[in-house]
Amino acid sequence: MSLQVGSKVPDFNLQGVDSKSHSLSDFKGKYLVLYFYPKDDTPGCTIEAKEFTSNYDEIRKIGAEVVGISADSYESHCSFRDKHALKILLLSDPSLKTIREYGAYGNRGVFGEGTMRKTFIIDKDGKLVKEYPKVSPLGHSKEVISFLKNLSK
């Protein structure tokens, strides 16, 4: 499945590391940086999460929130958050429902089938404004910040 820029994105209802259930409507009125990643505490995923955490305050000043989704369990997410002092909200999608709805599940080459690294920028009304279909973790948060700053102009 491929989401189109300008279209409404799928809603979700997933448990976060804050022990609360979260849906798309929780972020209405803000830009949402929704990123999908393969696995907690792996090298690339750790780089990406730590960079989003390092730049979290700057992203929030722009009027955006950052949310990471993987198929890992709530317990795994909590351990990952605590180990790396992550500020970002992590949501658990063990059923892969949301991951599949966003087109973030598929063939990862030598890593086989699984969650792919993708980022979606969603506007204040729940519409897609940007998709990063192939993300390189190093420097990605700065790329997102640059895009968000241009949106705010």
Could you report the per-residue pLDDT of 18-48, keeping only the tens digit for each?
A: 999 999 999 999 999 999 999 999 988 999 9
Q: Where are the domains of the chain?
A: 28-151
Q: pTM, whole model, 2 decimals?
A: 0.93
Q: Which CATH architecture has domain 28-151?
A: 3-Layer(aba) Sandwich (3.40)
Identify whether the C-beta of residue 36 lies closer than 8 Å to the C-beta of residue 136: no
Overall average pLDDT of the 50-76 stretch: 96
Concerning whether 78 is annotated as a catalytic residue, the answer is: no
- The full length of the chain comes to 153
Q: Where are the alpha helices (DSSP H) in the chain?
A: 43-54, 56-61, 74-84, 97-101, 140-151
User: Which residue from 85, 67, 82, 64 is spatially nearest to 20, judged by alpha carbons?
Assistant: 67
Identify whether the C-beta of residue 45 lies closer than 8 Å to the C-beta of residue 39: yes
* Predicted pLDDT of residue 72: 95
Does 152 score more than 70 pLDDT?
no
Separation CA 153–CA 149 (nearest Å): 7
Confidence of residue 1 (pLDDT cuts 50, 70, 90): low
Overall average pLDDT of the 138-144 stretch: 94
> How high is the mean pLDDT of the chain?
93
Overall average pLDDT of the 44-67 stretch: 95
Which tokens in the block code for residue 107?
């063939």
Confidence of residue 142 (pLDDT cuts 50, 70, 90): very high
Distances (CA, A) of 78 to 52, 84, 86: 17, 10, 10
pLDDT tens-digit readout, 90-134:
999 999 999 999 999 987 777 778 899 999 999 999 999 999 998
Given 3, 9, 24, 45, which residue is catalytic?
45
